[in-house]
Structure 1
Amino acid sequence: MSFKSEVRQSTINNLLEKVRDRKYDKYLSRLTLKKVRGFSDEHISFDFPVTAIIGPNGGGKTTVLGAAAILHRSIAPRQFFSKSGNYDAEMQDWSIEYEVIDRSVSAKGSIQRTASFKNKKWNRDALARNALLFGVSRTVPASERKELIPCTSRKFSVPESRVEAFTDNVRKCISRILGKSVEGFKRLKVNASGTVSMLTGKTENGVGYSEFHFGAGESSIIKMVAAIEAAEDASLVLIEEIENGLHPVATVRLVEYLIEVAERKRIQVVLTTHSNEALKPLPDKAVWSATKDKLFQGKLDVASLRAITGQIETQGVIFVEDEFAKTWVEAILRESSKGLVDHFEVHAMAGDGTAVAMNKYHNANPAIEVPSICIIDGDSAQIEGERVLRLPGAAPESFIFDSCVDTWPSIGGKLSVALLQRFEREAEVLALCKNVRTTNMDHHLLFAQLGEKLGLVPDATVRQAFVTQWAQTNTQAVDEILARLEALGNA
C-alpha cells in the first residue's frame, strides 16, 4: 500500500518555493565540506526546510550535521569535532564554507561564512541564530541519568511553583505524534534554576507516574516538542538519529510535525536517520545520502546504501530511476534461465540523474569490488554508455500498459487472473483498461486507477501483473537486456 502523508502536497510545494525564492530572515542555504574527515569539496544544499541525512554507520551523517551546527554561536565546535591532543592531527586545515541568508546582516542577498581548523583551534565567522541540538543522549532512560538520582528518594518533591503544565498547543502536537492524550503531563524543575527537569504523567484512570516509567522515545518526543514550540521563530533544529526509541508510526508523525512547524514558525531542521519511515513525508530534494566521501541528493531506500557502499554479496548491482523501474527490471531478471535474479540487487533511486550518479560513484570506488550498471527509462535525458542502458519505450508506465493491451488476445486471460479476476472476465477487464487509458491524465497513476476499478486491487499487484506479462511476452527485448547484465556479471 502506497504511503499517504498527512502533510498536504500544497504545503510541500509552498515550502520548496519559499526556499527557492529565499523568503527567509535566517536560513542555511548551502554548505561545502572543503576538507573535513573523508570529504573533499562536497556540497549540500538545503532546498527544503526539513532536510534528512541518511547513510551507513561511519558514512558522514553526523559530520554534515556538525558542519551545519558550528556555524552558530550557541553550539561549540567541540560538540561535534573535538581534538584529542596529538591523536587528531588530521584535523589540521579542515575547512567548511557556507552560504547563508541572514537579513540582519544583508537585507537582500545571501552572505558567505567559513569555519576552519588551523593552529590547533577552530576559527569561524559564527552567526547569532538560535540553534537547538537534540543528540542521541536524549533517549537515555531516566533511571540511567545521574542528575535524576536525587529524584528516586521516597521524600522527593518540588514546590508547586516549579511544576509546569504544558500549553494546549504543545499537548496537541505531542498527542498527535504519540497517538495518546498527554492531558495530565507536566514538567518538574528538579533544581531551582531548572537546568535539571523531570516529566510526570497520568494514566487514563488518573494514576500519576514519573519519567522513570516513561518510554525513552516518549520522553524525548515530549521534550523536543516543548523546546521547539518555546523556541523563537526561524530557529535551527538539529536532530541525531530521529527514529531513536520511536515506533515507525511515531517517526512518520514526528517528521510531519517538523514540516508543519517549519511552515508555522519558519524554523529549519536538519536530521540524521537510518529509517525509511523518516523519509516518507519528505520530498526528494529534502534527502541527502552521505557515503564516507560523497554526498548525493535524492530519496532512496535506506537498504540501497549497502549497494552504494559495496556492502553486498551479489554478482552485480542495478541502479534504476524509481520503484516502477525496479519492479520492471526484476520481472526481466526472473526471465533469465541462468537465475540472474538471484545474482543482482536492484535499487530504486530518486530520478535518472541520481541513478546515473550513484552508478558512476559505485564503479569508480576502488574499495567496491562488485560492479554495477544503471538502467534508465526510455524518456530519460541521460546518455547511454557502457554501464548505462535504456529500457524500451518512452514513458515507462504507459509503454507497459499499452504493450499489454495491444497483445491482449494472447495474454488477456493470464493477465486477468494475475489481476485477481476470473479468467472468463478478460473482456470486461480489457474494457476497463481502455476506459482507464482514455480518462487518464497522469501515466504514473494508470495502475492505481485500474486497480481501483477492479475492486480496490493494490497498485503494486497491478504493476507486478503487467510487467510480468510484458517480460514473458517480449522475449527479444528481454534477452537483449539480460545479455548486457550477464556480461556485466562475468566481467
Structure 2
Amino acid sequence: MINEFIKNIKILQQLKDNNVYKKYIEYIRYPYFRNLAPDSKITFDFPVTFLVGKNGSGKSSTLQSLYGCPKGYSLGDYWFTTELDPIKEFDKNRNCFIYGHKNNGSVNEVIKQRIHRDKNPDYWETAKPIKRYGMSNSQRFSPIEKDVVYLDFRTELSAFDKFFHFLKFYSNTHKSKQDFLRFYTNKLKEAFDTNKIISYYTPNRNKPKVILTKAETKIVSEILRKEFESIEIIEHNLFKDWGTSIRLKQKNINYSEAFAGSGETAIVILVHKIFSASNESLILLDEPETSLHSGAQKRLMSFLIKECIKKKHQVVISTHSPFLIENMPNESIKVFSTLNTTGKFVIDNDRNYREAFHELEIENTNKKIILVEDKTAQILIDKTIEKLGKATQDIFVTKYLPGGADDINQRLTTIMEITDDTYVVFDGDQKKLQKPVDLNLMPPNQQDTSKKLKELIKSQTGCDVKFYLNGGDQSKELKEKESLKLAKKYLEFYKRNVFYLPLSIPEDIIWDKKFAKKLLKLMKPEKDFSLIKKTSSNSKELLFNFCIECYGDSDQYESTVLQFVSNWINKEDSNFRIVKDLINKLKN
C-alpha cells in the first residue's frame, strides 16, 4: 500500500510539473489579513497542500480565504463583523488577499478586498491592481472559475448529534428529547423507505434521498474497513434544524447515524461530496482527521490522492494529524507559527512532516523528547541535563505542554503510534499507583476485556482516555478486539515511557528557605521574610510571593525559578540524584 501511495504521489507531481492542471491557484499572499504577518505567502507547489500549526494559528482563516477566491464565492460567508467582534480596517491597509492563477501559460493576479457597504458590511470584491502590494500589471483580472467543496469536520455533525447534543429542547407534545426522536425518526424512516418528501406541519421537511453509488460505497467501506452493502443520505429538518442523516446497511445489520460513529458519518459525507464534485474543483478540508483512527486517516489520504489524479482537484487540508502528512513531499507542507515579538502568524512553505510537528510538540526527531506539564518542571529537567554535560544535552529536548496532565494522557494515544522515543515526566502528585500497571504480571482474566483495561488505565492516569477506533458501530467482536489492542498498547507505552518527579510539585524540589532568606536580604534588605511565609500555603506560592517581594511584579517569575533551580543543582541533594538517575535511565 505504501509503494502504491508513493507511486501516486509521483504521478500527481508529474501532472503538476507538466501543466496538466489548467484551473489552479499557484499561490496566495496576504499584504494585510487578519492575524497573519504582513506579506505572508503560501505557494501551492503540489496539488495537495497541508496547513499545519497549533490551534488559533490562522489555518482555518486561510482556508476560508481560499474559499473566497473563485468567482461567486465570498469570504464574508464565514468572516463577518459584529458589535462584539468588529472587523477594523486601518487607513489604506484593508484586509485583502491576492492570488495567482494560470491562464494560457501566464499567471494572472487577482486581489480581493473587504469593502464596507451600507447593506453589506462584509462585502468582498475584486479590486484594481495595487502597486504598493507589488502588483505590476495594470489590468484587473477576473477571479478564477472553480467549484468549491468546503468541509469543516469539527462542525460537520449529523442531524441526530446536532439535535441530541447541542440544540435546546422544548416541546408541548413530547416529554423528552428521546420521545421527540422516537416520534420523528418514524417520519425519517418513511422518507428513507419511500423517498417521499415529508410535509408534517410545514412543507418540504426533507430533500430527496441520495443513494451512494457502488463506487462510493466501496470507498467508504475501504476507508472504514467495513463491508457496506448500501449507504443512503437524506438532508432534512425533522429534528428542528437542517442536518444530514445517513442509513448504512451491512450484511447482518442496518443502522443510522444515531448508532454510527461521528467518523463514519463524516467519511460518508466527504466521500459523497468529493465524488459529486466537478473536475478541477477546489477541495478545502478543515481537520478531516476528527474522530478517525490513524489507519482510516491514511486510507482517506490514499483516496484523496487518487481523486486528484483522476479529476485534477486542488486540495488544501488544515490538520493536526501526523498520519495525514506522512510520506507527503516537503513542498506540500506549510507550517504556521507565532512570532514572539508581535504575536502575528508566519508561514513556512517548505518543511518535512517530522519538522512540521515541532509546532504541535509531538514530533519524532532524532532527539529523545521529554514532555512535562509545567514550566518549572521543564527548567528543572533542562538544568539537570545541562549539568550532565553536552553529550547528554545532544540526546534530549524537553517540552512543556500547557494543557495539563489529563491532556498529556490523552495525547499519548497519538504519540504511541508515532514514536517510542517520547517520554513523559509528570509532577509527583500525578502518581496514582506505586508501580505502573504491568500486564505481564496480571492473570489473563483481569485483562480480557477493553472495559477492564480502561479501568486499569483510569486507575493509573486518573482520567478517562478515549481511543478512536476504525469506524463507528462495527460488529461488537471487531470493535472489542481493536479497543482491547489499543488499550494494551497504551498501558505498555505508559509502563515504558511515563515517569514522575520526586515530591508533589517541582517547586517542592527547588524551594530552599535558607537560600530564599539570603537572596531576599541581598536584594531587598528592608523586606521581612516572615510575611512571605504567612501569605503562602505551598511552595509554589512561596516562590511567587518571593518574586513579588524581590522584583515588585511577576514578570521575573521565570528568572526567580532559574535562580532556585541553579541553587538546587549546586547542592546535589537526594532529589537531584533521583532526577539525574531518571535522565540516565532515559538515555539508555
The TM-score by the shorter chain falls in which range? 0.5 to 0.7
Residue 336 (str. 1) matches residue 392 (str. 2) = no
Q: Which residue number corresponds to residue 94 of structure 1?
A: 95
Give the CA RMSD over aligned residues. Answer: 3.6
Secondary structure of the corresponding residue to residue 13 of structure 1: helix
Match in the other structure for 2:221: 175
Contact 2:280 2:314 in 1 (8 A): yes
Secondary structure at the residue paired with 1:47? coil
| Residues in 2 aligned to 1:232 and 1:63: alpha-carbon distance in whole angstroms | 25
Q: 1:175 to 1:36 in 2, by over 3 A?
A: same
Structure 2 residue corresponding to 1:268, chosen from 314, 318, 337: 314
Deviates more, 1:181-190 or 1:91-100: 181-190
Of 76, 79, 96, which residue of structure 2 is paired with 1:78? 76
- TM-score, normalised with respect to structure 2: 0.49
Q: 1:130 aligns with which of 147, 154, 161?
A: 147
Instruction: Tell me the residue number matched to 2:249.
Output: 202
> In the TM superposition, what is the alpha-carbon distance from 1:294 to its structure 2 partner?
0.8
Q: Which residue of 2 aligns with 1:244?
A: 290
Indicate conservation of the 8 Å contact 1:53/1:287, yes or no: yes
Deviations 1:329-363 (A, max 9, x none): xxx999837853687359xxxxxxxxxxxxxxxxx
1:56-114: CA deviation from partner (whole Å, max 9, x where unpaired): 1111111221221110245331233211247424345112110113xxxx333221111
1:154 equivalent in structure 2: 186
> Counterparts of 1:343 and 1:196 in 2: how far apart (Å)?
49
In 2, the alpha carbon distance for the partners of 1:334 and 1:200 equals 62
Amino acid at match of 2:161: E
- State the 1:219 CA deviation: 0.7
> One-letter code of the match for 1:217?
G
Q: Give the counterpart letter for 1:133 in structure 2.
A: Y
Structure 1 pair 178–111 and aligned structure 2 pair: CA distance change class (3 A): same
Amino acid at match of 2:397: F
Describe the shift of the 1:87–1:208 C-alpha distance in structure 2 as closer, same or farther (beyond 3 A): closer
Structure-1 separation of matches of 2:312 and 2:182: 39
TM-score of the pair, normalised by structure 1 = 0.58
Selected match of 1:50 from 48, 51, 62? 48
Match of residue 305 from structure 1: 359
Distance of aligned partners of 1:220 and 1:306 in 2 relative to their CA distance in 1, 3 Å threshold: closer
Say whether the 8 Å CA contact 1:306–1:312 is kept in structure 2: no
The answer as to whether partners of 1:7 and 1:281 remain within 8 angstroms in 2 is no
Residues 276 and 72 of structure 1: is their aligned pair in 2 closer, same or farther, counting only changes over 3 Å? same
Q: Given the superposition, is the C-alpha separation of residues 30 and 7 from structure 1 closer, same or farther in structure 2, using an over 3 Å criterion?
A: farther
- For residues 369-402 of structure 1, the C-alpha deviation after alignment (integer angstroms, 9 at most, x for no partner) is xxxxxxxxxxxxxxxxxxxxxxxxxxxxxxxxxx
Q: Decide whether the 8 Å contact of 1:140 with 1:216 is kept in 2.
A: yes
Alpha-carbon contact 1:54-1:288 (below 8 Å) kept: yes
8 Å contact 2:158–2:245 — kept in the other structure?
no
Name the CA shift for 1:197/1:37 in 2 (closer, same or farther; >3 Å): closer
Question: Partners of 2:77 and 2:83 in 1: how far apart?
Answer: 16
Cα deviation for residue 7 of structure 1 reads 3.8
- Going from structure 1 to structure 2, the CA distance change for 1:144 and 1:165 (only over 3 Å counts) comes to closer
Q: 2:26 aligns with which of 22, 25, 29?
A: 29
* CA shift digits 1:196-236 (9 cap, x unpaired): 5421012431x322221111110110111011111111001
Q: Give 1:182 deviation, angstroms.
A: 1.7
1:142 aligns with 2:159: yes
Instruction: Extract unaligned runs of 5+ from structure 2.
Output: 127-141, 168-179, 197-207, 339-344, 363-372, 400-565, 567-588
Letter in 2 for 1:100: H
Query: Cα gap change, 1:160/1:80 in structure 2, threshold over 3 Å: closer, same or farther?
Result: closer
Counterpart-to-counterpart distance in 2, 1:151 and 1:110: 57
1:65 and 1:333 map into 2 onto residues whose CA distance is 42
Native 8 Å contact 1:7 1:260 kept in 2? no
Determine if the alignment matches structure 1 residue 220 to structure 2 residue 266.
Answer: yes
Cα pair distance change 1:165/1:333, threshold 3 Å: farther
Kept in 2, the 8 Å contact 1:177–1:253? The answer is yes
Select the structure of larger CA radius of gyration.
2
Give CA deviations for 1:18-55 in whole Å, capped at 9, x if unaligned.
Answer: 22343212111100011112221111111111111010
For 2:389 and 2:296, the matched residues in 1 are separated by 42
Matching residue's letter, 1:114: I
- Aligned to 1:12, the other structure's residue is in SS state helix
1:157-215 Cα distance to aligned partner (Å, 9 max, x none): 112464433212111211111111121322235479xx85421012431x322221111
How far apart in 1 are the matches of 2:21 and 2:220?
27
Deviation of 1:259 (Å): 0.8
**1:10 to 1:134, Cα distance in 2 relative to 1, 3 A:** same
- SS of the counterpart of 1:224? helix
Contact 2:5 2:302 in 1 (8 A): no
Shift, 1:11, TM fit:
2.2
Residues 17, 338 of structure 1: alpha-carbon distance in 2 compared, 3 angstrom cutoff:
closer
- Count of equivalent residues: 323
- Mapped partners of 2:332, 2:360: distance in 1: 21
How many Å separate the matches in 1 of 2:78 and 2:306? 28
The question of whether the paired residues in 1 share the 8 Å contact of 2:6 and 2:327 is answered with: no
Q: Does 1:109 align with 2:110?
A: no
- The one-letter amino acid of 1:340's match is Q
1:2-21 counterparts in 2 under 5 A?
Answer: 5=2, 7-21=4-18
Structure 1 residue 275 displacement after superposition: 0.8
2:316 is paired with a residue whose SS is strand
Whole-angstrom CA distance in 2 between matches of 1:153 and 1:250: 30
- Provide the rounded CA distance (Å) in 1 between the counterparts of 2:147 and 2:281: 5
- SS of the residue corresponding to residue 106 of structure 2 reads coil
* Alignment equivalent of 1:294, drawn from 332, 346, 349: 346
Q: Please tell me whether the aligned partners of residues 62 and 272 of structure 1 are also in contact (alpha carbons under 8 angstroms).
A: yes
Q: 2 CA distance for matches of 1:312 and 1:44?
A: 34
1:464 alignment counterpart: none
Q: Secondary structure at the match of 2:229?
A: coil
Conservation of the 8 A alpha-carbon contact between 1:139 and 1:244? no
CA–CA distance in structure 1, aligned partners of residues 152 and 398 of structure 2: 34
Question: Residues 89 and 131 from structure 1, CA distance in 2 versus in 1: closer, same or farther, beyond 3 angstroms?
Answer: closer
Work out the CA distance in 2 between the residues paired with 1:209 and 1:252. Answer: 25
